[in-house]
């Protein structure tokens, strides 16, 4: 619309230019004006009729307009009066030609009121020949104005961007937006409409007002208000930010201290203490150089502590606690360790401080050697003597790779290395005694590994026997069984694992997992379990073969956490010392035997595996191509009993073999590839809109929502409605305050994100709402 | 010495009163609760079915007008008050809780074209075909007193639309031009005109309160800023826009109801094409109003239906109709987001639920939880064909149904023809024009 009119305007201007070309001296501005007024009639006629007078007038006008710079619209139109009269001293009729600016300025110079500055300006103006650009047409200006206004409005509106996107992403929206916080309201608001009536009240109020204490809405006294005003908003914000930061830091340190305090690990605290002590020593050394007196005092303090320790023998094994621990030490690894630590503490406290660090270590070593005397006898017994099942707890801490090591010295070194690995995070060095203990453990573990291996082999033998017993099973079943066996040898929990782990790993873990597999199997297999510990003739060849294999494994699998199964199920057997196990050891397996026997009895004659295999075979057969006989006997031939159809008519059709079954290589699984029509009715066939891939879509169904599966709190959280409105409350449109609130929230969020750095993965609902927001913006 | 004994906190298992629910210890072991997906699917299916069973959106009809209801106005401070103006110049004030008319006044001669309640709720303005703007007191006059307007402004031309500023004593009217009025003055403080059109409606932006939008008869939508002397921008569409409504929560979005059966949601910063085209009506859309949460809007159409659209969905989530409801002229969404009010040609105002299956009134906490759970289940399984089928099923009157099918066929035919043309012409000479771009003729600035 405006475009069109603009074009029109341009045309007008052109027309005018053409018509005025006869009169070259006419000002451009004049043309413009004429164009505005409607170029068709007015100017043409006036130009022809009036002669020189008009021209002179034009000149004058030109001069004046050059003076003012601004165009005066009225001048062009009210023509008659202006011809005769002139406000200025210059009469256009007097001058023969063009009126110069200097003519006008001549009078100027005589008047003293005009400052030199203005004069200079005018002179410059005179020299300057440039004409002012013609103003744009009305349509054009309006268009520009509109454009500007629109830009302004658009930018103003865009400040809501963040609020809108945030609301689109929000998991829950609460309406009305500006809800009054629940709970008691400030007294000032409640009292607002209340007036002092009784004399006592009036007295109180008089007092308050006399002291300029506020009693209604402004809670601040004038002085306070003044102080508030004194602090500008920016200052206050900066101050607040500082305070917040300080508070955050403080709480952070507090939390850290609390966390550290909570750490139960004695070792950790020991290491910490050691570091602290070392720091102290260094400090003292420094102090000796700088401030000997203070250093002396510090040393004295330490000496005092040492003396006290020596006198009290607080950390010797004479205390009540130590005694109780000594009793427990037989059964409890932890207790034993605690005792050792205490003794170490004692040693550290009682040694002299003046010695250098090297000496300290030496002493420690000596102490370790001497420690054996301090420890109760049974503790040592437990270490050297027959295996105590209760003492095996320590085993689990060791990485499995240590099993591989054959020679004792090697084991020691490796274990030391492992220990270093463990302790790296604490930056502490190992003591000798721990190394020793570890060595023992190591040795014990090796024995176990050997035993379990032999047990594994025995188990396999039994398995084959069991399979042989199963006469009903066909050849195919036998095959499957052998596959089963291979899996049991592989000894991983599931099929995925078997696939993933290479054979080296299998041999490594066979010892841990075979028992588990048996539990899954039939009663016959269960039978084998109780016999296992008793049937322990050691096979030298297997034990020898083991290390070479396991060394390979050691590289691939470096470190492992605590293996619960290993601790609980392994039975200890030692090759070298054929001693009768301690009472508890023998009792436990018997109990197991009973349990297993019971189970066996209960499920006697229930051969699940063979059933399964039969089932699978049947399904496989069903899928196989069948030979269809299409001959039609008696068709064009003689019919009757005992007649064979001729060869050319013997048509047999064999359909193409189906693709190999998916469960071909999975002996324990039946995968049915048939489509079930009744189910497909309820299935989603194409990916719904907001989702991009199947994984995303399926992730929506990963976890149930109901309270059958979730705790009350989770259910509440999960089933939170997206929009919550208050009953009977008017929801007002969004107001400016929301913008401010949002700004604060965003600032908080960004700061928290920065501090966290690592972002949590978004919950799925979040993801989609974000996506939606994005879509909405993109549209 | 510390002796460890078994001790239980009685708070964990003793009820405070006998009316409390018994505590039920639960075992959440997943092996004890198998088939969670299928069980939840069944629950979702049942919830969806129940939702359809309980979907009874029509609450009541307010009758009393002697002519078609031409405009509605919500009270800004009271949920239970509704104002309606009819084609014979009568304005009625309704009490929605009692569902009865509390006041009737003859406001104008001829149509009551527009009506709006002042932001404070103390008075309301009406405009009519008699070229007057009248301000009325919200409170009824005492016994024996006559109904008289507080103020009357005589205009030069007929006013067709009216809206009030959100916070100031300023209102806007439209007719041959858009005027901004101060309540204290009898002449407009500002007039906008841009070419010679007549405007059909004007609306203030409730968030950015100085902005306005208006619909003109030359098929254009014009935006204004009250503080500027000129309009901001104008977009011309293929057909005339009847009304527009700003989103009360999202400052720059507005939705307009068009004669071409569609609604268009625009971002006011980018008028080149709408953000969303909402199509489902089978006749001209006459009125539109946003829900106060800004997430949905409701539209009234000449096809005798009311439809509810999610703000960013192309199709409606709900359609309301009754046998007796004729062309729906005006529609409002109540300020508590619970109800919808529609005024139609056959002199009735109808009260609908915004969520058809929602239970009204206070819900017990357990009830509320159950509702939330089933809602989430429905959302979770919404893409499953059986659930989708049930959830989406709506009954339509026969003529609307056939019209819809007809429209579909027409659309398909048009599409087919276009593709054929494209196939048989030089590649690139027949560009693909998206649905959004199709309906915008030009943007004028």
pLDDT at A341: 83
Cα→Cα distances A57→A52, A86, A107, A229, B108, Å? 9, 10, 20, 65, 60
Q: Do B385 and A147 touch (CB under 8 A)?
A: no
pLDDT at A469: 45
d(CA B376, CA A703): 13
pLDDT-derived band of residue A219, with 50, 70 and 90 as boundaries? Answer: low
Q: What is the pTM of this model?
A: 0.56
The per-residue pLDDT of chain A, averaged, comes to 66
Q: Is B194 on the interface with A (CB under 8 A)?
A: yes
Q: How far is B327 from chain A (nearest CA, A)?
A: 29
Q: How far is A189 from chain B (nearest CA, A)?
A: 21
pLDDT tens digit string along B275-302? Answer: 999 999 999 999 999 999 999 999 999 9
Residue of A nearest to B97 (CA): A728
Q: Do A156 and B372 touch (CB under 8 A)?
A: no
pLDDT-derived band of residue A299, with 50, 70 and 90 as boundaries? Answer: confident
pLDDT at A776: 45
CA-based R_g, chain A, Å: 50
DSSP labels, A604-656: TT--HHHHHHHHHHHHHHHHS--EEE---TTSSS--STTPPPPGGG--EEEPP
Q: End-to-end CA distance of chain A: give it in Å, rounded.
A: 27
Average pLDDT over residues B347-358: 95
Residue of A nearest to B334 (CA): A730
Which two structure tokens, joined as six digits, stand for A602?
């209960």
Q: Do B230 and A149 touch (CB under 8 A)?
A: yes
pLDDT tens digit string along B15-60? Answer: 888 888 887 788 899 899 999 999 999 999 999 999 999 999 999 9
> B163: which chain A residues are within 8 Å (Cβ-Cβ)?
none
By CB atoms closer than 10 A (0-12, 13-18, 19+), residue A747 is exposed
Question: Is residue A479's pLDDT more than 60?
Answer: no
Cβ-contact A596, A526 below 8 angstroms: yes
Residue of B nearest to A734 (CA): B249
- A416 Cβ contact partners less than 8 Å away, ≥ 6 residues apart: A430, A435, A438
Q: Do A149 and B225 touch (CB under 8 A)?
A: yes
pLDDT at A50: 54
Q: Is A86 on the interface with B (CB under 8 A)?
A: no
Q: Do A705 and B208 touch (CB under 8 A)?
A: no
Average pLDDT over residues A145-160: 94
Which of A263-267, A307-311, B253-257 is predicted least confidently? Answer: A307-311
The larger pLDDT score, comparing residue B330 to residue A110, is at B330
User: A734, A773, A778: best mutation site toward chain B, by most B Cβ within 10 Å?
Assistant: A734
pLDDT at A251: 93
Q: Which residues of A418-456 are buried (b: 16+ CB within 10 A; e: fewer)?
A: bbeebbeeeebeebebbebbbbbbbbbbbbbbbbbbbbb
pLDDT tens digit string along A541-583? Answer: 333 334 444 444 444 444 444 444 444 444 444 444 334 333 3
Residue of B nearest to A142 (CA): B230
Q: How far is B199 from chain A (nearest CA, A)?
A: 17
Q: Is A710 on the interface with B (CB under 8 A)?
A: yes
Nearest CB to B293; choose among A143, A175, A772: A175
Domains of chain B from N-terminus onward: 35-60+364-392 (no CATH), 61-355 (2.130.10.10)
The larger pLDDT score, comparing residue A232 to residue B378, is at B378
Q: Is B229 on the interface with A (CB under 8 A)?
A: yes
Average pLDDT over residues A427-446: 53
d(CA B42, CA B374): 11
Nearest CB to A681; choose among B41, B76, B386: B386
Which of A637-651, B31-45, B139-153 is predicted least confidently? Answer: A637-651
Task: Provide the residue ranges of all domains of chain A, joining segments of one domain with +.
Answer: 217-290
The larger pLDDT score, comparing residue A444 to residue B308, is at B308
pLDDT at A386: 44
Q: How far is B173 from chain A (nearest CA, A)?
A: 21
> A770: which chain B residues are within 8 Å (Cβ-Cβ)?
none
The per-residue pLDDT of chain B, averaged, comes to 93
> Which of residues 3 through 42 in chain B touch A, CB cutoff 8 A?
26, 28, 30, 33, 36-37, 39-41
Q: Is A120 on the interface with B (CB under 8 A)?
A: no
Q: Do A683 and B233 touch (CB under 8 A)?
A: no
Nearest CB to B293; choose among A160, A731, A775: A731
- Written in H, E and C, the secondary structure of chain B is CCCCCCCCCHHHCCCCCCCCCCCCCCCCCHHHCCCHHHHHHHHHHHHHHHHHHHCCCEEEEEECCCCCEEEEEECCCCCCEEEEEECCCEEEEEECCCCEEEEEEECCCCCEEEEEECCCCCEEEEEECCCEEEEEECCCCCCCCCCCCCEEEECCCCCCEEEECCCCCEEEEECCCEEEEECCCCCEEEEECCCCCCEEEEEECCCCCCEEEEEECCCEEEEEECCCCCEEEEEEECCCEEEEEECCCCCCEEEEEECCCEEEEEECCECCCCCEEEECCCCCEEEEEECCCCCEEEEEECCCCEEEEECCCCCCCEEECCCCCCCEEEEEECCCCCEEEEEECCCEEEEEECCCCCCCCCCCHHHHHHHHHHHHHHHHCCCCHHHHHHHHCCCCCHHHHHHHHHHHHHHHHHHHHHHHHHHCCCCCCCCCCCHHHHCEEEEEC
pLDDT tens digit string along B74-121? Answer: 999 999 999 999 999 999 999 999 999 999 999 999 999 999 999 999
Which of A148-152, A437-441, B159-163, B323-327 is predicted least confidently? Answer: A437-441
């Amino acid at each position: 619309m405006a475009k069109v009119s603009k074009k029109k305007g341009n045309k007008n201007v052109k027309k005018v230019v053409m018509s005025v070309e006869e009169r070259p001296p006419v000002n451009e501005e004049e043309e413009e004006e004429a164009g505005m007024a409607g170029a068709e009639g007015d100017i043409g006629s006036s130009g022809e009729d009036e002669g020189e007078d008009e021209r002179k007038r034009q000149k004058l006008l030109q001069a004046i307009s050059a003076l003012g710079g601004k165009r005066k619209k009225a001048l062009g139109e009210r023509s008659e009066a202006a011809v005769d009269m002139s406000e200025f001293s210059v009469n256009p009729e007097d001058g023969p030609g063009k009126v110069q600016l200097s003519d006008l300025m001549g009078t100027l110079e005589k008047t003293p009121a005009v400052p030199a500055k203005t004069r200079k300006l005018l002179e410059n103006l005179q020299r300057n020949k440039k004409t002012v650009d013609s103003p744009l047409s009305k349509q054009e200006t309006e268009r520009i104005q509109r454009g500007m206004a629109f830009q302004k409005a658009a930018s103003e509106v865009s400040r809501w961007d963040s609020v809108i996107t945030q609301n689109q992403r929000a998991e829950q929206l609460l309406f009305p937006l500006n809800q009054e916080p629940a709970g008691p309201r400030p007294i000032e608001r409640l009292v607002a409409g209340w007036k002092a009536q009784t004399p006592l009240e009036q007295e109180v109020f008089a007092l308050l007002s006399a002291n300029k204490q506020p009693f209604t809405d402004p809670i601040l006294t004038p002085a306070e208000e003044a102080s508030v005003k004194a602090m500008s908003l920016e200052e206050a914000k900066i101050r607040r930010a500082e305070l917040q930061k300080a508070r955050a830091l403080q709480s952070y340190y507090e939390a850290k201290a609390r966390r550290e305090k909570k750490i139960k690990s004695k070792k950790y605290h020991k290491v910490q203490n050691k570091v602290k002590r070392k720091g102290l020593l260094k400090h003292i050394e420094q102090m000796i150089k700088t401030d000997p007196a203070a250093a002396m005092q510090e040393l004295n303090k330490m000496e005092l502590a040492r003396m006290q320790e020596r006198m009290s023998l607080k950390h010797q094994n004479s205390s009540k606690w130590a005694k109780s621990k000594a009793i427990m030490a037989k059964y409890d690894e932890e207790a034993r360790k605690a005792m050792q630590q205490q003794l170490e503490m004692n040693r550290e406290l009682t040694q002299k401080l003046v010695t250098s660090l090297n000496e300290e270590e030496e002493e420690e070593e000596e102490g370790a050697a001497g420690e054996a005397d301090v420890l109760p006898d049974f503790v040592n017994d437990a270490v050297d003597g027959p295996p105590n099942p209760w003492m095996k707890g320590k085993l689990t801490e060791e990485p499995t790779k240590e099993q591989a090591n054959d020679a004792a010295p090697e084991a020691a070194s490796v274990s030391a290395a492992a220990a270093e690995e463990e302790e790296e995070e604490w930056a502490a060095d190992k003591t000798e005694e721990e190394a020793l203990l570890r060595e023992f453990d190591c040795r014990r573990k090796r024995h176990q590994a050997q035993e379990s291996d032999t047990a594994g082999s025995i188990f396999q033998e039994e398995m084959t026997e069991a399979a042989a017993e199963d006469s009903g099973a066909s050849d195919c079943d036998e095959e499957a069984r052998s596959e089963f066996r291979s899996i049991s040898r592989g000894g991983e929990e599931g099929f995925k694992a078997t696939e993933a782990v290479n054979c080296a790993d299998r041999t490594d873990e066979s010892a841990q997992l075979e028992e588990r597999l048996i539990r899954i199997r039939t009663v016959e297999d269960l039978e084998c379990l109780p016999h296992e510990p008793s049937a322990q003739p050691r096979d030298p060849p297997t034990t020898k073969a083991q290390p070479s294999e396991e060394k390979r494994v050691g590289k691939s699998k470096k470190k492992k956490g605590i293996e619960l199964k290993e601790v609980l199920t392994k039975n200890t057997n030692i090759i070298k010392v054929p001693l009768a196990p301690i009472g508890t050891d023998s009792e436990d397996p018997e109990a197991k035997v009973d349990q297993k026997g019971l189970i066996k009895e209960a499920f006697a004659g229930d051969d699940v595996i063979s059933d399964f295999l039969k089932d699978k075979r049947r399904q496989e057969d069903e899928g196989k191509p069948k030979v269809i006989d299409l001959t039609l006997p008696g068709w064009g031939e003689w019919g009757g009993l005992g007649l064979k159809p001729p060869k050319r008519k013997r048509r047999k059709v064999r359909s193409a073999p189906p693709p190999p079954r998916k469960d071909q290589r999975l002996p324990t699984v039946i995968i049915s590839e048939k489509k079930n029509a009744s189910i497909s009715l309820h299935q989603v066939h194409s990916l719904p809109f907001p989702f991009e891939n199947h994984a995303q879509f399926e992730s929506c169904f990963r976890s149930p929502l109901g309270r059958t599966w979730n705790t009350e709190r989770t259910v509440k959280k999960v089933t939170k409605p997206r929009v919550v409105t208050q009953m009977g409350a008017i929801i007002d449109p969004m107001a400016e305050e929301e913008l401010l609130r949002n700004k604060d929230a965003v600032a908080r969020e960004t700061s928290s994100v920065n501090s966290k750095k690592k972002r949590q993965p978004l919950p799925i609902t979040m993801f989609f709402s974000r996506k939606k927001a994005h879509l909405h913006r993109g549209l | 010495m510390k002796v460890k004994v078994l001790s239980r906190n009685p708070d964990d298992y003793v009820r405070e009163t006998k009316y409390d629910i018994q505590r039920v210890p639960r075992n959440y072991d997943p092996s004890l609760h198998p088939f969670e997906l299928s069980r939840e699917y069944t629950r979702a299916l049942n919830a969806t079915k129940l939702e359809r069973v309980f979907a009874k959106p029509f609450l009541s009809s307010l009758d009393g007008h002697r002519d078609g209801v031409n405009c509605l106005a919500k009270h800004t401070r009271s949920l239970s008050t509704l104002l309606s103006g009819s084609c014979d110049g009568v304005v009625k004030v309704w009490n929605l809780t009692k569902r009865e008319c509390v006041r009737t006044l003859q406001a104008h001669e001829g149509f009551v074209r527009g009506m709006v309640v002042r932001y404070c709720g103390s008075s309301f303005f009406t405009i009519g075909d008699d070229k007057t703007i009248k301000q009325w007191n919200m409170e009824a006059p005492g016994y024996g007193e006559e109904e008289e307007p507080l103020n009357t402004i005589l205009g030069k031309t007929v006013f067709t639309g009216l809206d009030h500023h959100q916070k100031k004593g300023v209102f806007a009217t439209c007719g041959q031009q858009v005027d901004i009025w101060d309540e204290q003055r009898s002449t407009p403080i500002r007039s906008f005109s841009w070419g010679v059109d007549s405007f059909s409606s004007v609306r203030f932006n409730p968030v950015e309160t100085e902005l306005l939008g208006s619909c003109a008869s030359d098929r254009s939508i014009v935006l204004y800023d009250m503080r500027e002397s000129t309009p901001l921008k104008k977009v011309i569409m293929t057909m005339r826009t009847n009304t527009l409504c700003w989103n009360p929560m999202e400052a720059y979005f507005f939705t307009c109801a068009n004669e071409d059966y569609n609604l268009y949601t625009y971002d006011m910063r980018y008028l080149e094409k709408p953000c969303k085209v909402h199509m489902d009506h089978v006749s001209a859309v006459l009125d539109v109003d946003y829900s106060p949460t800004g997430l949905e809007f409701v539209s009234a159409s000449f096809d005798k239906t009311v439809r509810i659209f999610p703000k960013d969905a192309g199709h409606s989530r709900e359609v309301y109709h009754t046998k007796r409801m004729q062309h729906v002229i005006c529609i409002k969404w109540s300020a508590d987001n619970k109800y919808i009010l529609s005024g139609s040609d056959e002199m009735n105002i109808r009260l609908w639920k915004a969520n058809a299956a929602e239970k009204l009134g206070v819900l017990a906490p357990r009830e509320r939880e159950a509702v939330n759970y089933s809602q989430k289940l429905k959302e979770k399984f919404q893409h499953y064909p059986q659930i989708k089928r049930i959830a989406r099923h709506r009954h339509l009157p026969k003529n609307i149904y056939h019209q819809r099918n007809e429209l579909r066929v027409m659309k398909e035919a048009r599409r087919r023809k276009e593709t054929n043309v494209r196939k048989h012409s030089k590649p690139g000479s027949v560009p693909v024009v998206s649905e959004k771009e199709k309906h915008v003729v030009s943007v004028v600035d």
